[in-house]
């Protein structure tokens, strides 16, 4: 058994190394996502520092969406998301139209959408964090009826555990929008 974060974990059986179990503890730590670094202190003793995996990523998406969403001159939550994609140390939820962070750090966040809507309407998409506009986004004006436009943005932003990121949209007037393909991606890139 291994103690991790105050819990005792009994990992799945791991094949023994070639040297009669010499590698067992290293293999168990790797299996649990724990890395170990060593250094020599000022008295010549070996010091061990264990760290945990701080990788975090997730994304939500929609492919070939066909549901119209009413938008107005005020921002509305984009609700077209249909797929939760695999995440690691984050939660992706198409039901909540959001990605939630579990680890603090700087995240690379990107959004892309292709969409259709009424002609001569300017659409604006924005990143929101915890229900508040982050003032980062993109604009696109559709020319004539039947046009499909694209809009995207990328940002590096610090997130704390529990922070929720979402995308909101508004039109220059009240209208409908159909998000046909879209992705919202978050990936932790540093502290």
Q: 18-59: per-residue pLDDT in tens?
A: 444 444 555 555 544 555 566 666 676 766 655 556 789 999
C-alpha to C-alpha distances, 161 to 54, 74, 90, 127, 165, nearest whole angstrom: 12, 28, 9, 17, 12
26 in helix, strand or coil? helix
Residues 91 and 38 placed together within one structural domain of the fold:
no
Instruction: Report residue 12's pLDDT band, with 50, 70 and 90 as the boundaries.
Output: very low
Instruction: Report residue 103: phi and psi, to 5°.
Output: -125, 135
| Domain boundaries, position 12 | 2-52
Residues 136 and 66 placed together within one structural domain of the fold:
yes
Question: How confident is the model at residue 5, as a pLDDT?
Answer: 43
CB 39 within 8 A of CB 48: no
> CA 3 to CA 13: how far, in whole Å?
16
Residues 45 and 61 placed together within one structural domain of the fold:
no
Residues 80 and 147 placed together within one structural domain of the fold:
yes
Residues 84 and 25 placed together within one structural domain of the fold:
no
- 54 vs 118: which has the higher pLDDT: 118
Q: 53-109: per-residue pLDDT in tens?
A: 678 999 999 999 999 999 988 999 999 999 887 688 899 998 899 999 999 999 999
């Amino acid at each position: 058994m291994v103690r991790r974060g105050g819990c005792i974990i009994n990992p799945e059986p791991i094949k023994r190394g070639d040297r009669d179990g010499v590698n067992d503890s290293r293999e168990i730590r790797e299996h649990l996502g724990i890395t170990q670094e060593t250094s020599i202190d000022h008295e010549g003793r070996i010091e061990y520092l264990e760290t945990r995996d701080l990788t975090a990523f997730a994304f939500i998406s929609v492919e070939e969406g066909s549901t119209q969403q009413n938008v107005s001159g005020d921002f509305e939550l984009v609700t077209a998301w249909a797929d939760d994609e695999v995440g690691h140390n984050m939660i992706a939820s198409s039901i909540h139209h959001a990605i939630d962070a579990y680890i603090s750090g700087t995240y690379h966040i990107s959004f892309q959408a292709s969409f259709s809507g009424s002609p001569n309407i300017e659409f604006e998409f924005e990143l929101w964090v915890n229900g508040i506009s982050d003032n980062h986004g993109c604009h696109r004006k559709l020319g004539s009826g039947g046009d499909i436009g694209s809009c995207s943005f990328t940002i590096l932003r610090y997130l704390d555990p529990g922070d929720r990121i979402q995308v909101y949209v508004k039109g220059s007037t009240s209208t409908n929008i159909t998000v046909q393909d879209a992705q919202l991606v978050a990936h932790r890139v540093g502290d």
